[in-house]
Amino acid sequence: DEIINFVRAGEASAIVLSRKLFDENPNLTEKLKELRQTERQHPAGNERGKRSHDDGVEDSSAKRKSQQDAGVPSIPVWTFEDVFEMKSEAEEAKRMALLPEKILANSVASLIFTSGTTGTPKAVMLSHKNFTSMVSMLSSVLEMDITDGVLSVLPMHHTFEFSAGFLTPFANGTQITYLDELSSEELSRAIENNHVTGMVGVPALWEMLHRRIKSRLRERGDWFADLADNIIEFNVWLRDNTPFNFGPIVFFPIHKGMGGRMRYLISGGSALSEKVQKDLHGLGFTVLEGYGLTESSPVLTVARPGNKLLRGSVGKPLPGVEVKINEPDEKGVGEVFARGQNVMVGYFNNEAATEAVLHDRWLKTGDLGRIDEDGNLFIVGRSKDVIIDSNGKNIYPDEVEDLYGVSPLIKELSVVGLPDADGGEKVAVLVVPDYEHDISLARGEVNKKVEEHFRQISATLPFFKRVKILHLTPFELPRTATRKVKRLEVIEMVQTLEQNSKDKTKVVAETKSDDTAVWVRKIVASVSNRALSEIALEDKLTDLGFDSLMFVELQAAVEDAGGKIISPDTLNEVETVRELLTAVQRVDKRKRIEEPKAEEKNEEDEIFVPSILRTVGNSIVDFAQEKLYENVLNTKIEGESNVPQHTNFIVASNHTSHLDMGLVKRALGKDVAEQTVAVAAADYWFDTKYKRAYMNNFTTLIPIERTGSLRQSLRHVTEILKEGYNTLIFP
């Protein structure tokens, strides 16, 4: 539905998407065909049709072809592979003919939607001039050049990443490194192995880094952590009052772990916690916080590089950007207005919405702020209802209310953002149940059904859209004379209910003898950067600040502590610490200690095979396999030309017998097969010294554990690929 809304609102002529999204939406083409049929039956106001589906670009899907033959063309859907594949020079010429001969500065370069699955989404029109102006402005402040390197950690469709993390470095010849997955472990590895002098991220990233550093300091003992805190405080004072910065010297191991060359940590998307900013500053890092909106491409202000920490400020306007406070009160607080070459053209096909936020080229941000005597902007609140979490994700209350409000047992509800300690907001909801809908149900039963309804809806939504705090009330929601919900009063009500709830349930439910419960609580405390005494079994993980990134950290922490997740999908369903306790399995300590000893014993016992015997033996095995597959089994191989010759690759094959490994290698060809290794079950193929002697010397099999840490097994395969080998896997 979200994609269909975007297609309709953006008047798309075609869709290009990743293979993953294509596979996740098998009915997309059929829905797009229905959309086309509806538009043809009701053409009023519809101007699409300026370009048909077959304007010279071949549609590679057989399903799409059959629908076109049925008489009503669907809006074509292409994967990135479709777009980047040049079938012929003639085909490429047709594609090039679709592009405009000349790009005008004020022509639209991008439509970025600001809302999602329900209602009519607004599409922000950003021009080529908007983006080039933004690059020029950021370049003059950040001073990137060919000696710098930026680590990209945000998705490219995030306007902040596109402008500050891609276009600006790209325009200045700066190296950009991309991550395969966003986790603290992968982050550390990327920084260590690449030339990184700057990072652009949302507050959740810096909070993850902050938790990681604090956790490492606590591992050295409470006395060491306290000493580090005192040094951090001293270095904050030193940097604020002198030109010196002792952080890189005193905390050299931390800076070395960050590559040792980090110049800037740039934060945007939502407010950064002052605690996180202060600690990173005291550790010796330079943190620059910025502010802006999608409508401004997106940066308006950013703190300037310097030794002094500007607490609570998002810095000064970029060169060429004007910022003013409209109708300030006695404290100088009012709505933030801004204008400059980076301000959007307007909202696509929505003049009313455009006129509501653009007046005389001034952009009404909807945010409340003040400007100090030095020209620094301070954001003090939001006049809009949009909830912004610590990842910089926008959550629209009306949309969330529509998603959750479908139950007949819900009389009314209000979704609000509840401020949290990380500088972002949590999605909270106050629900008035309809106790009269089914009089056979007691109030307690109705409440349970409403809570179950919220769990079911949450399971279908992305993490950032899920309700994190739910409270029920028998009283009507506070409303104005025009029946609009008073959201500020709702926030106060939810905060009161939340505090009362915590006061009642904040108990430690397990005894000291329950080692597993204490073990789980310690893991949660470490990941959430809290004291063990603050963690109770009844605590909700989201109340402890867990977001999608922290759940990734949690899984890694469980494995590092010698445990394992019973099923990878279970973490998606876990809500409380108690539920986490049932979702993890602690490996017996004695087993973990004994296993390495067994391996050491096996190594002493290994059968030595001389190199001459290995050479002769491999020749015999190769000859025997060739005769077996060609002369005995009469193997027929097709599609040899599809085997990549310029890069290594993964082969994921079905598995029917022990002959499969040799058969696949035979199909790949001799030269490729020599560079291909196959992963095999260690407990089956390598369980005796005789099997190991054969497998290690006369095959290219490598052992992989079928039980234990999935992360460790995948890392093993990754190392093989990095060495340039092809990998054969039987899923």
45: left (phi over 0), alpha (psi -120 to 50) or beta: left
350 and 381 Cβ atoms separated by less than 8 Å: no
313 and 377 Cβ atoms separated by less than 8 Å: yes
pLDDT in the model for residue 445: 92
Taking residue 513's Cβ as centre, other Cβ atoms within 10 Å add up to 7
Q: Return d(Cα 450, Cα 461) in angstroms, integer.
A: 17
pLDDT in the model for residue 710: 58
Enter the CATH code of domain 127-315.
3.40.50.12780
- Please report which residue ranges of 467-605 form alpha helices under DSSP H: 487-505, 515-528, 548-560, 570-573, 577-583, 589-605
Tokens of 263: 């110049």
CA distances from 599 to 24, 244, 520, 684, 687 (A): 43, 52, 29, 15, 10
Return the closest-CA partner of residue 454 out of 400, 503, 513, 504. 400
pLDDT in the model for residue 121: 65
pLDDT in the model for residue 506: 46
CA distances from 193 to 187, 209, 662 (A): 10, 17, 36
pLDDT in the model for residue 229: 93
73 and 34 Cβ atoms separated by less than 8 Å: no
Query: How crowded is the C-beta side of 239, counted as CA atoms within 13 Å?
Result: 27
Domain 395-502: which CATH number of 3.40.50.720, 3.90.550.10, 3.30.300.30, 3.50.30.30:
3.30.300.30
312: left (phi over 0), alpha (psi -120 to 50) or beta: left
Enter the CATH code of domain 515-587.
1.10.1200.10
Angle at the Cα of 419 (from 414 to 422), degrees rounded to 5?
140
pLDDT in the model for residue 131: 97
- Please report which residue ranges of 11-50 form alpha helices under DSSP H: 19-24, 28-41
pLDDT in the model for residue 71: 47
pLDDT in the model for residue 297: 96
- Return the domain boundaries, the chain: 2-99, 127-315, 395-502, 515-587, 605-729
Tokens of 124: 């922000």
Tokens of 381: 């609140």
pLDDT in the model for residue 401: 87
Q: What is the mean pLDDT of each run of 10 residues along the chain (731 residues)?
A: 80 84 84 74 47 37 43 72 81 80 90 62 92 96 93 88 95 92 79 91 85 86 91 95 94 92 90 89 95 94 91 94 93 92 95 93 91 92 75 80 88 89 84 89 91 89 88 87 75 88 50 69 86 82 78 81 71 80 68 41 65 83 85 86 85 86 87 86 82 84 70 75 86 73
298 and 160 Cβ atoms separated by less than 8 Å: yes
CB-count exposure of residue 100 (10 Å: 0-12, 13-18, 19+): exposed
